[in-house]
Amino acid sequence: MKAIARTHRLRTATITAAACTALLAGGAAPAIAVTPAATGTVVTAVGQTVNAKTAKESITVKASAKSVKHGETVTLSGKVMNIKDGSKLTVQHKKGNKWTTLHASTTVKHGAYSTKVKLNNKGTEHLRVAHGKTVSKDVTVKVT
């Protein structure tokens, strides 16, 4: 019971501090105060409740090399925001004006990922990482 009361006091103090900060900053945007893990909601300083599931997802990507020989692999790695650990990420490449999914995928672990992609076609490959409709910026790898 004492732990619950302490948690409630901490949450109340955090909300109050965030509200004061938002007011001192001009109140231009609501500050996020608390993210209760059990409910999956975010409570803002002005008392708005936002579903954490609707928070914007994002993916970053970085290639281990800018050029490789055909048949070699390149490692794509990066971080994700608002995508759960264990979620599947796929690798896509641009073919003409269309993005197609490759046979390379990975899962999110501790907010990050890493996967190897074998590149067989000579030329310039534009690669990106996708999770549903959320995609990273593309990286360019030259295959010689």
Does 126 share its domain with 62?
A: yes
Q: How many structural domains does the chain have?
A: 2
Is 11 in a helix, a strand, or coil? helix
Does 49 share its domain with 74?
A: no
Whole-number Å distance between alpha carbons of 48 and 44: 5
Q: List the domain range (segments joined by +) for residue 12.
A: 2-54
Does 35 share its domain with 89?
A: no
Whole-model pTM above 0.85? no
Q: List, in sequence order, every beta strand (DSSP E) within 55-111.
A: 58-59, 62-63, 67-68, 73-81, 88-95, 98-107
pLDDT values of the chain reduced to their tens digit, one per residue, 144 residues: 455 555 556 555 555 555 545 545 555 444 444 444 445 555 544 454 556 556 899 999 999 999 999 999 999 999 999 999 999 999 999 999 999 999 999 999 999 999 999 999 999 999 999 999 999 999 999 999
Does 11 share its domain with 65?
A: no
Does 40 share its domain with 105?
A: no
Among residues 11, 34, 54, which one ends one of the domains?
54
Does 11 share its domain with 39?
A: yes
Whole-number Å distance between alpha carbons of 114 and 63: 10
Does 79 share its domain with 139?
A: yes
CB-based contact 83:59 (threshold 8 Å): yes
